[in-house]
């Protein structure tokens, strides 16, 4: 089915009796999902055969990702697209606002499990926290989780962790207009999430053995570029091919751990 | 100082900027005003299973939660906050009409659940236990002998779908008829997707594009829950 054919289907009522192959089934086709399935058929017929060798290698049990990336659920921020990587390259954890709850917070478990598996199971050497500008989750935070609590208690609780981000920048808020603030939040959030990573035993274990490096990135939606955190300067710099400072050095606390 | 792995990622981003972002700058700028994704996708962290690629969507189309094993914890469990927050945001803020829970064959997490191989007391083990294996009297772990791994992952995903209905946001959406739940399993060996059929435990593979014009097996919106049983 081509785009035009799909458009025809989309105009029909949602309940659509499937003719032909499976007369017993009366299936409802939802337009949104129909488009996803159309996309999958493109993947299957075009991309998969073209990369046969790669997929065969991956299916053969090779799971050696270059890095683990903790990023946001935001549909516009696709890590594999942003770094133009291939399947098998990035082990991905995605949650609202790319947050890392402190170890022991109770709801840290989804993050904790992924970190442990990445470090002990996959022996991943690079862990990236990748926030982004225009983040809706951080916007909701800036607008006040209390307001959310009434009808979105889980979101309020989850963002409650990021209260430290807000507390961190509150003194700077005066005179900053909304959009500027939202963009700024990601740059404040990422270093704090890196710090929270240090509360996980698996992370400190790997750092102290020199087996892990932490990286903080912010993806800029308006340029497509990445900024990397430089702890020495407590600043972000554009990541570029020269790679001068494109790697985020362990911050002082991490270096102390390494000496242990 | 810069490691090869990281350089590869940074160089990838520069390639993305020049070969993807710049030529389509207008489309990317449209995204600045906000996102209106087609669906919420809950899938596994596994690096081999890239949702946006499998479904061939562009940035902005899919709101994505990824965790170990594509697990949906019980709603009242403390560890449910992470997914619960994403459900709140996707359903109430973005008005996403569909949720797809997608597992995959060769999943290490499911293997660890079935074989009980995760280190005792680890977060991983505790997290894996959040993935319900039992629904309405049928416990997956009682059937590991006679079921194939493919069948196990299908039933596992069906169980996660059922667990989704414990979340109030989801229940309200289903009751109002503005939300559909869908289950799928991706096979990294063939690149094919098996999709849950409504009203049964059956997952069926999508046929070739030509055949697809007469066969679009999508879980019926209101039947989705029964389809997950």
Average pLDDT score over residue span B157-184: 90
User: Above 80 in pLDDT, residue B101?
Assistant: yes
User: Above 70 in pLDDT, residue A8?
Assistant: no
B89 with B159, same domain? yes
Q: How confident is the model at residue A195 (pLDDT cuts 50, 70, 90)?
A: very high
Residue A61: exposure state from Cβ atoms within 10 A (0-12, 13-18, ≥19)? exposed
Q: Is B120 on the interface with A (CB under 8 A)?
A: no
Q: Say what the pLDDT of residue B200 is.
A: 63
Average pLDDT score over residue span A147-166: 82
The interface residues of chain A toward chain B in range 126-155, judged by CB-CB distance below 8 A, are 126, 128, 134, 136-137, 140, 148, 151-155
Question: What is the secondary structure of A6-26 as a DSSP string?
Answer: HHHHHHS-SEEEPPSS-TT-E
Q: Do B6 and A30 touch (CB under 8 A)?
A: no
Query: Which neighbouring-strand residues pair with A216?
Result: A129
Rounded to the nearest angstrom, the minimum Cα separation between A166 and chain B is 18
Q: Is B141 on the interface with A (CB under 8 A)?
A: no
Q: Do A96 and B5 touch (CB under 8 A)?
A: no
Give the range with max mean pLDDT: A190-194, B5-9, B110-114.
A190-194
Q: Do A83 and B10 touch (CB under 8 A)?
A: yes
B10 with B52, same domain? no
Q: Is B8 on the interface with A (CB under 8 A)?
A: yes
Out of B5, B17, B34, closest to residue A67 by CB: B5
Q: Is B89 on the interface with A (CB under 8 A)?
A: yes
Q: Say what the pLDDT of residue B227 is.
A: 33
pLDDT digits (tens, 9 = 90+) for B29-57: 999 999 999 899 999 999 999 999 998 88
The domain containing residue B11 runs over which residues?
1-34
B154 with B110, same domain? yes
The interface residues of chain A toward chain B in range 86-125, judged by CB-CB distance below 8 A, are 87-96, 106-117, 120-121, 125
Percent of chain B with pLDDT over 70: 86
pLDDT digits (tens, 9 = 90+) for B120-160: 878 788 888 888 887 777 888 888 889 999 999 999 998 99
Q: Mean pLDDT over all residues of chain B? A: 83
Residue from A117, A246, A250 whose CB has the most chain B CBs within 10 Å, to mutate: A117
Q: Say what the pLDDT of residue A131 is.
A: 96
Out of B67, B93, B219, closest to residue A93 by CB: B67
Average pLDDT score over residue span B99-124: 87
pLDDT digits (tens, 9 = 90+) for A9-62: 334 333 222 222 232 333 445 566 677 777 888 888 888 898 899 999 999 877
B21 with B48, same domain? no
Percent of chain A with pLDDT over 90: 40
B125 with B185, same domain? yes
B162 with B70, same domain? yes
pLDDT digits (tens, 9 = 90+) for A96-128: 999 999 888 777 788 999 999 999 999 999 999
User: Above 50 in pLDDT, residue B59?
Assistant: yes
Q: Do B100 and A36 touch (CB under 8 A)?
A: yes
Q: Say what the pLDDT of residue B198 is.
A: 63
What is the rounded CA–CA span in Å between residue A228 and residue A217?
5
CATH code at position B211: 3.40.1050.10
Question: What is the secondary structure of chain B as a DSSP string?
Answer: ---HHHHHHHHHHHHHIIIIIGGGHHHHHHGGG----SEEEEEE--TT--HHHHTT--TTSEEEEEEGGG----TTSGGGHHHHHHHIIIIIIS---EEEEEEETT-HHHHHHHHT-SPTTSHHHHHHHHS--EETTEEGGGGTTTS-HHHHHHHHHHHHHHHHTTSHHHHHHHHTT--EEEEEEEETTTTEEEEEPTTSS-EEE---HHHHTT------TTTHHHHT-
B93 with B151, same domain? yes
Q: Say what the pLDDT of residue A143 is.
A: 75
Residue from A35, A53, A82, A154 whose CB has the most chain B CBs within 10 Å, to mutate: A154
Which residues from A are below 8 Å from B53, CB to CB? 43, 47, 80, 87
B13 with B123, same domain? no
What is the rounded CA–CA span in Å between residue B28 and residue B220?
33
Number of domains present in the structure of chain B: 2
Q: Do B67 and A113 touch (CB under 8 A)?
A: yes
B105 with B89, same domain? yes
Q: Please report, for residues A105, A175, A189, A227, the alpha-carbon distance to residue B32 in angstroms, rounded to integers and kept in the order given.
A: 33, 23, 20, 18
Q: In terms of Cα–Cα distance, which of B222, B216, B210 is closest to B175?
A: B222
User: Above 70 in pLDDT, residue B223?
Assistant: no
Q: Please report, for residues A130, B46, B102, B125, B130, the alpha-carbon distance to residue A121 in angstroms, rounded to integers and kept in the order given.
A: 22, 12, 22, 12, 19
B116 compared with A247, residue with greater pLDDT: B116
Q: Say what the pLDDT of residue A206 is.
A: 95
Closest chain B residue by Cα to residue A116: B124
User: Above 60 in pLDDT, residue A5?
Assistant: no
Q: Is B196:B203 a contact under the CB 8 Å cutoff?
A: yes
B9 with B102, same domain? no
Range of lowest pLDDT (A147-151, A185-189, B49-53, B114-118): A147-151
Q: Is B148 on the interface with A (CB under 8 A)?
A: no
B17 with B119, same domain? no
B10 with B89, same domain? no
Q: Which residue reads 């014009």 in tokens?
A: B213
Q: Say what the pLDDT of residue B1 is.
A: 41
Domains parsed from chain A with CATH numbers: 3-50 (no CATH), 64-257 (3.40.1050.10)
Q: Mean pLDDT over all residues of chain A? A: 77
What is the rounded CA–CA span in Å between residue A222 and residue B33?
10
């Amino acid at each position: 089915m081509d785009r035009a054919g799909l458009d025809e289907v989309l105009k029909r009522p949602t309940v659509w009796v499937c003719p032909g192959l499976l007369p017993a089934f009366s299936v409802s086709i939802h337009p949104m999902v129909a488009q996803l399935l159309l996309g999958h058929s493109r993947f299957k017929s075009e991309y998969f055969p073209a990369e046969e060798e790669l997929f065969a290698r991956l299916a053969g049990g090779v799971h050696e990702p270059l890095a683990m990336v903790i990023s946001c659920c935001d549909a516009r921020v696709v890590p594999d697209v942003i770094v133009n990587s291939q399947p098998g390259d990035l082990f991905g954890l995605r949650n609202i606002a790319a947050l890392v709850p402190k170890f022991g917070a109770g709801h840290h478990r989804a993050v904790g499990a992924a970190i442990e598996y990445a470090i002990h199971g996959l022996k991943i050497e690079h862990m990236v926290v990748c926030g982004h500008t225009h983040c809706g989750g951080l916007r909701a935070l800036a607008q006040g989780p209390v307001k959310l609590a009434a009808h979105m208690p889980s979101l309020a609780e989850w963002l409650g962790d990021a209260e430290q981000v807000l507390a961190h920048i509150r003194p700077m808020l005066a005179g900053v207009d909304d959009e500027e603030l939202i963009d700024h939040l990601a740059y404040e959030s990422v270093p704090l999430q890196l710090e929270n990573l240090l509360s996980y035993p698996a992370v400190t274990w790997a750092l102290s053995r020199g087996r892990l490096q932490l990286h903080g990135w912010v993806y800029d939606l308006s340029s497509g570029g990445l900024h990397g955190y430089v702890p020495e300067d407590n600043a972000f710099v554009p990541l570029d091919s020269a790679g001068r400072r494109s790697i985020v050095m362990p911050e002082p606390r991490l270096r102390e751990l390494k000496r242990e | 100082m810069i490691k090869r792995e990281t350089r590869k990622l940074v160089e990838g981003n520069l390639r993305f900027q020049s070969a993807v972002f710049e030529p389509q700058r207008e489309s990317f700028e449209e995204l600045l005003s906000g996102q209106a994704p087609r669906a919420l996708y809950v899938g596994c962290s596994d690096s081999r299973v890239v949702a946006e690629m499998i479904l061939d969507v562009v940035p902005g189309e899919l709101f994505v939660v990824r965790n170990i094993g594509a697990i949906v914890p019980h709603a009242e469990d403390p560890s449910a906050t992470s997914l619960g927050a994403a459900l709140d945001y996707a359903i109430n803020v973005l008005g996403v009409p569909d949720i797809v829970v997608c597992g995959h064959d060769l999943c290490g997490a499911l293997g660890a659940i079935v074989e009980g191989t995760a280190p005792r007391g680890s977060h991983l083990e505790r997290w894996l236990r959040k993935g319900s294996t039992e629904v309405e009297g049928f416990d997956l772990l009682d059937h590991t002998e006679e079921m194939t791994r493919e069948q196990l992952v299908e039933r596992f995903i069906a169980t996660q779908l059922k667990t989704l209905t414990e979340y109030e946001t989801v229940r309200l959406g289903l009751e109002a008829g503005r939300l559909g739940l869908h289950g799928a399993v991706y096979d990294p060996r063939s690149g094919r997707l098996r999709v849950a059929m409504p009203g049964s435990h059956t997952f069926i593979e999508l046929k070739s594009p030509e055949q697809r014009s007469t066969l679009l097996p999508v879980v019926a919106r209101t039947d989705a829950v029964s389809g997950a049983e």
